[in-house]
Structure 1
Amino acid sequence: MKRASPPVDQPHTADRPNMTTNTERLELRRRRMAQSPPILRGGFRPFFLGAGAWALIALTIWLAFLFGWDSARLIDDPVAWHRHEMLFGFAGAAIAGFALTAVPNWTGRLPIAGGALAGLFGLWLMGRIVPLTTAGHPVASALLDGGFQILLAFLLGREIVRSGNRNVPVVAIIAAFGIASTLDRLEMGGVVDVGAIGWRGGLALVAVLIALIGGRIVPSFTRNWLASQGCEGRLPAQADRFDLAIMVLGGMALLSWLALPGSLSSGWLLLGAGIGHALRLARWQGWRCASNALVAILHMGYGWLSAGLMLLGLAAFDLVTETLAVHALTTGAIATMILAVMTRATLGHTGRPLMASGITKLSYVLITVAAVARVLAGLAIAPSHALMAVAGAAWCAAFTLFLLEYGPMLWSPRLDEHKVART
């Protein structure tokens, strides 16, 4: 009896249109996936693993500098390096893993896998390593770092265009993110002076991406879970004109922050956008799914987006520091949403039940502690270094737990592959 081919991380749906060349490409991708080691059978695998590892490594380097180690021998500007690596390194890897997994679902095409995926991940990894070496010339570092995101956008855009899918804005955001990364690297190296538009633009783009993708998955997953529990009453609806209006307001507020940072007009717009996102979140009824950690953490992450925008607005009125607001968006919204998506997607795409273990729940608690402690450190209500130590320790513990529990899942075949092999 002929042995069944082992399943891969995405269904074998047909590419469109049905031309001979596309059929050949489809078969080539199928062979690549079947012949590749498990770690290279889906973009979420290497990039989620890389994001978790870099979250731990990069913050450990930063904490070592913050608490007395002379890292000037390794990094010329530790503050700028920390900011860049958390945003474009850590978050950039997580975005790549999500996009490389989501686009095949959106388009019905097989994911990038095998050697092509390894090369893409290698480019991201070089963007982390080269700036720390003597070969890390600012221009070379910028081309590596930004080039990775731009190449990623090109590859994803090709898939979306060929399938006629509507998710072009996501690809445009990733391409713009690559440009922002390039500008930030060049400014870090003293090649150009663009007034911090690189890291500010990157942060604004990730905030928009959270609002866009979060606005789809948070109400959808909430609705699905509530329906599965037989909950009565009105369920969260899909996006409507209200959601579109909040998205537009949020985009205008962030553009104002980029063009006129610290202005009263940007302050009012950011406050309005933060309140709008809070109202949007309330419509998704997160309190009804508090018992499901995988869903509840998504609401928590989106709540940090709302809080971060409001704090950024208050910073324009000198009521809080901009650094405090930025960390509400980064340590709060970005890190929480990344951890939430990486854990849920890994469980689902490796054939495991969508249930949060005790370790996963503890990692959610720890990332929340890290965000709260880092924001409180900016309020000067307690010794800031003590709070930053708490935030750093909680952050490292959260991602250590992620790596310990989800690393083996990302490295190993799907559970149902083992079942097929035994039959």
Structure 2
Amino acid sequence: MTAAMTGTDPNTATSPRQPETASPRGGIPRGLARTGPILFSYGFRPFFLGAGLWAFASMALWIAALAGHLPIGGSYGATYWHAHELLFGFSTAALAGFLLTAVPNWTGRLPVSGWPLAGLFAIWCAGRAAMLAPDVLGLTASAAIDALFLPALAFIVARELIAGKKWGDMKILAAVLFLTGANVWFHAAVLTGGDETIPARLGVSAFTVMVMLVGGRIIPSFTHNWLNRFGKKPLPMPFGRYDIAAIVVGAVALGFYTAAPSNPLTAIPATLAFAMQSYRLYRWRGWKTASDPLLLILHLAYAFVPLAFAAIAAAALDLVPTWSVLHILTVGVISTMIVAVMTRASLAHTGRALSASRITQASYAALLLAALSRPLAGFFPEHAMFFYSASGVLWLAAFGLFLIQYAPILVGARR
């Protein structure tokens, strides 16, 4: 049940039987809910579904707004709404689905489910509704409603990590708290006419750090299990001191990028991070997994990490536009890794075979092409509209295919 989140082999791992509910100290009911909608029986179900639906719907609304057919975001501003909803709406839903499923396995405690899970999901939905028409309640009230979700998620994660004495995993909580601050800062900047690009970069950087942390655990572990099953050598290098150093250097480079993306000094840590992350990816032997798309996509998604650091260095030296870097990070690093994790975890946690169907593979291909095409608008400004349109259509195709394949799985019974 928890293999896709931890790196164990799902074909051999077993899961302990969970009681229906538990009421631990602290008042957070936990356990696999046996009554009520199956959607709220486990954290990945509502939040992966919500992430897929909002990724598709928010992009469709954005395209309609660009075409002049539909005003969105009200006085908050359509451009700001688009940036906010993809970064702090879609992406945070996927993050919640992952954490609410992974953290119980890290701690050995039971997962939040049932009404508490439904309540947390309702807070996320309320944020989406408030931001879609922020003038109904007022900009400040709408921003406040949206800002409730990440602190609530952080509280649950903190409570479980502390209760489970998993002090080493507190770095994930730190990234969530950075993301929480970035969301509040983004709202404040928009409402006061400040610079919203800094909190946007901070949010993107927090997500990227989480990709480096979690991806660096699960990708080599899954690859090791798969290669070992078929007797292929050499095996990926396990997580060690080099990985810690690569993450630290990457975090420093992202700090420079957040504060001063156009400063030539930013190119120094970014170039070092590019080299270290490239070698880190090489150590995982991803090319040997080409016959397993469900595993290969994790390596391809992580490949955008060193690519992003190379782009950060190039932008700092005024070789590429800084906003092209932002889209390499958001569509390439964050969104591609989100889809890679959501598809694998949805299959594993519902008792299905870890095999990528043609629909899943088509979804991967569309998102990879979207991630590659969107930044090209900065390199070929005379063809910018073509790349904008192509990336938007490819995004819709990727998440439309994801919903076709995985919506029935997420709301259906575990096999």
2 CA distance for matches of 1:88 and 1:214? 20
Structure 2 residue 222 is matched with structure 1 residue 226 = no
Instruction: Report what 1:168 is aligned to.
Output: 170
Go from structure 1 to structure 2 and tell me whether the alpha carbon gap of 1:382 and 1:292 turns closer, same or farther (over 3 Å shift): farther
Unaligned runs of 5+ in 2: 1-13
The structural deviation recorded for 1:132 is 2.5
2 CA distance for matches of 1:174 and 1:229? 37
TM-score of the aligned structures, taking structure 1 as reference length: 0.89
The structural deviation recorded for 1:13 is 5.8
Instruction: Report what 1:90 is aligned to.
Output: 90
Structure 2 residue 184 is matched with structure 1 residue 196 = no
The structural deviation recorded for 1:137 is 2.7
The structural deviation recorded for 1:140 is 2.2
Structure 2 residue 317 is matched with structure 1 residue 317 = yes
* Alpha-carbon RMSD: 2.2
Instruction: Report what 2:378 is aligned to.
Output: 378
Instruction: Report what 2:247 is aligned to.
Output: 247
Q: Secondary structure at the match of 2:33?
A: helix
Which amino acid counterpart does residue 336 of structure 1 have in structure 2?
T
1 CA distance for matches of 2:291 and 2:407? 25
Q: Secondary structure at the match of 1:378?
A: helix
Instruction: Report what 1:5 is aligned to.
Output: none
2 CA distance for matches of 1:394 and 1:195? 27
Alpha-carbon contact 2:301-2:332 (below 8 Å) kept? yes
The structural deviation recorded for 1:412 is 1.0
2 CA distance for matches of 1:153 and 1:304? 27
1 CA distance for matches of 2:195 and 2:92? 21
CA shift digits 1:198-242 (9 cap, x unpaired): 2111011001000000100111111111111121x2201221111
Alpha-carbon contact 1:36-1:113 (below 8 Å) kept? no
Q: Secondary structure at the match of 2:235?
A: coil
Structure with max Cα Rg: 1
Aligned residues: 398
Alpha-carbon contact 1:211-1:247 (below 8 Å) kept? yes
Moved over 4 A (4+): 23-26
Go from structure 1 to structure 2 and tell me whether the alpha carbon gap of 1:36 and 1:172 turns closer, same or farther (over 3 Å shift): farther
The structural deviation recorded for 1:25 is 7.2
Unaligned runs of 5+ in 1: 1-8, 15-19, 416-423
1 CA distance for matches of 2:89 and 2:171? 21
Which amino acid counterpart does residue 181 of structure 1 have in structure 2?
N
Instruction: Report what 1:182 is aligned to.
Output: 184
Alpha-carbon contact 1:360-1:401 (below 8 Å) kept? yes
Which amino acid counterpart does residue 152 of structure 1 have in structure 2?
L
CA shift digits 1:296-345 (9 cap, x unpaired): 10011100111112112211111000111111111111111000000000
Go from structure 1 to structure 2 and tell me whether the alpha carbon gap of 1:24 and 1:269 turns closer, same or farther (over 3 Å shift): closer
Instruction: Report what 1:400 is aligned to.
Output: 400
Q: Percent identity?
A: 39
The structural deviation recorded for 1:24 is 11
Structure 2 residue 179 is matched with structure 1 residue 216 = no
CA shift digits 1:141-193 (9 cap, x unpaired): 33222321111011111111111113111112112211111111121222x73
2 CA distance for matches of 1:151 and 1:388? 35
Alpha-carbon contact 1:249-1:273 (below 8 Å) kept? yes
Q: Secondary structure at the match of 2:375?
A: helix
Which amino acid counterpart does residue 158 of structure 1 have in structure 2?
R
Which amino acid counterpart does residue 226 of structure 1 have in structure 2?
L
Instruction: Report what 2:302 is aligned to.
Output: 302
Instruction: Report what 1:150 is aligned to.
Output: 151
